[in-house]
Structure 1
Amino acid sequence: MRHTLSTLRKTLAGGRKLAMLTCYDASFARLMDAAGVDTLLVGDSLGMVVQGHDSTLPVTVDDIAYHTACIARGAPRAFLVADMPFGSYHEDAAQAMRNAVTLMKAGAQMVKLEGGAEIAPIVKQYVLAGIPVCAHVGLLPQHVNAVGGFRVQGRDAASAERILADAQALDAAGAAMVLIEGVPEDVGRRVAESVGAITIGIGASGACDGQVLVMHDMLGMTDRPARFVKDFTRELAPGEGNLIERAFRAYAEEVGAGRFPAAEHVYAATGDAAAAYGGANAPKAG
């Protein structure tokens, strides 16, 4: 039986955090599902890790819809979230609705949007139409050209307050989930503690309700990975069973028990928050 928002909240109420991974095809979806990964994100990170681009910007709605349908067929249990790619919800309300409906018809149970308080009207529009929303705050990969690259956000008081206000506005607009990316640990914690939505962290805080990583990152396939990445294949002892499924299971277990992220996987409020976010080609949650 496929997870729903209700079953995800029941999991949290039972004391276990949620494990999310990006996914792009049916075969990996099947392994993640069997390993107990709660939520699969059809991320526009596919532009980097699948299509070979240097950002997420070239990804189209048709790309996301195709991969969403593949994953929906491969994973009968996990909750499925699909990214709204760059430019797919910015023209007008009709365009935003049309593209979200396309992804829901492809098999998504929720769509994810990047942005702050300015996209609250779109979130409200989706919620009224029965489309669950995951908001995405902090580092926004689709805004990479505006912020000068993949950099930790919220390093000063003003930007930290803006991220917090954005998350609260999107929560008030009806977002059922908020993904927090690339912020100092204290900023991620403040956001997680101030919204009613389910919070998912990536380079944010262990206080979030769950964590997400790009599949290629946690399988050790990325050169110069970002600080928040852990290679879950490295510590596996030789043994029976599929190595990749075992890595997915180890990830789900560590996230569920609150052991990942550890202190070395988050950004401090000062000092190392000023360090590079990750390698130039490191895939982001996106």
Structure 2
Amino acid sequence: MVHKSNRPTVHDMRAMKARAEKISMLYVTTLDEAAAADAAGIHMLSIESRFFTTEMREAAGSCFVQVGLPFGPYGNLVTAEDYLRAAFHFTKLGGDCFYCAASLDIQKALCDNHMPVVAHVGLIPSYVTWTGWRAVGKTATEARAVWDHVKRLEAIGCFGAELEVVPDSLGAAISANTPMIMLGMGAGPGADAQYLFAEDVLGHTDGHRPRHAKTYRNFSAEFARLQAERIAAFREFIADVNAGSYPQTQHNVAMSDTEFTAFKADLGL
């Protein structure tokens, strides 16, 4: 028996695009981030397979979850069979669609097996050696290459694609002329979804902060404060141990004098 779920489906996400509804999307890595996204009403989450568990699926609640299948050696996924096995596994755990930046033949194998595939166009981090870390599509020739890539993905049946760091005019033109859902990350307001990393939104990015990132809270300062408090607490613990003030009576397990006396008598102590 197939049990219905209240979570959105591919059909629902396509309907949002058809109604020109904006889709909010976050990349999250923790249970707390997933639960907060669900409570806030975020539509879609990106969760790498290494973080995706039944507990993470539960925390994500009614969010539509894209499970990332890392390319090549990063996820030990190389062949189409590897990707299919992983996709079916994470489907059982509650994945709703699958990010895949592998070759077209691997993406097609997933699509042919009815897996909703989210590909990647524009600046593709796993292929960045070919482009460098820069915006892609600022010339007519490059813009056409991005467009053609999208059309190849359409042809093999992809559900959507991450559209990363392309000019806003190109992002809008592509999104308006494809049935795929275009998940914009630095692709302008015309993309179907606006996609950010939770760490950028919360202000604790480690390393480069991209141009398109927007910070809404300063968790970096809060994390620094908490770390200072951890160190202080640990130092106080050391001081208590050295002074003999820890452990105290309330921290110990009591044994009656009668039983302890019997124990020592048995050993001849």
TM-score > 0.5 by shorter chain? yes
C-alpha deviation, 1:89, in angstroms: 8.3
Percent identity (aligned) = 29
2:195 corresponding residue in structure 1 = 212
* Runs of 4+ in structure 1 over 4 Å off: none
| Aligned partners of 1:68 and 1:82 also within 8 Å | no
Aligned residues: 210
Question: What is the aligned-residue RMSD (CA, Å)?
Answer: 2.1
The answer for unaligned runs of 5 or more in structure 1 is: 44-63, 235-286
1:195 corresponding residue in structure 2 = 178
| Aligned partners of 1:135 and 1:170 also within 8 Å | yes
1:100 matched to 2:83? The reply is no
C-alpha deviation, 1:73, in angstroms: 1.8
Q: What is the letter of the counterpart of residue 163 of structure 1?
A: V
1:176 matched to 2:163? The reply is no
| Aligned partners of 2:166 and 2:186 also within 8 Å | yes
Q: What is the letter of the counterpart of residue 202 of structure 2?
A: L
Q: 1:127 to 1:96 in 2, by over 3 A?
A: same
The answer for unaligned runs of 5 or more in structure 2 is: 1-5, 219-269
State the secondary structure of the residue aligned to 1:134.
strand
CA offsets, 1:65-97, max 9 Å, x none? 443444202122010101111205874322232
Larger radius of gyration: 2
State the secondary structure of the residue aligned to 2:100.
strand
1:185 corresponding residue in structure 2 = 168
Higher helix share: 2
| Aligned partners of 1:179 and 1:200 also within 8 Å | yes
CA offsets, 1:178-202, max 9 Å, x none? 2100111122122212211111101
State the secondary structure of the residue aligned to 2:86.
helix
Q: 1:205 to 1:66 in 2, by over 3 A?
A: closer
1:16 corresponding residue in structure 2 = 21
C-alpha deviation, 1:106, in angstroms: 3.2
1:113 matched to 2:96? The reply is no
| Aligned partners of 2:33 and 2:198 also within 8 Å | no
- In the alignment, the residues of structure 2 paired with residue 69 and residue 160 of structure 1 have an alpha-carbon distance, to the nearest angstrom, of 40
CA offsets, 1:86-131, max 9 Å, x none? 205874322232232233233211111226xxx3322221122121
- In the alignment, the residues of structure 1 paired with residue 182 and residue 10 of structure 2 have an alpha-carbon distance, to the nearest angstrom, of 12
State the secondary structure of the residue aligned to 2:214.
coil
1:6 matched to 2:11? The reply is yes
What pairs up with 1:1-286 in 2 under 5 angstroms? 1-43=6-48, 64-87=49-72, 91-114=78-101, 119-148=103-132, 150-222=133-205, 225-233=209-217
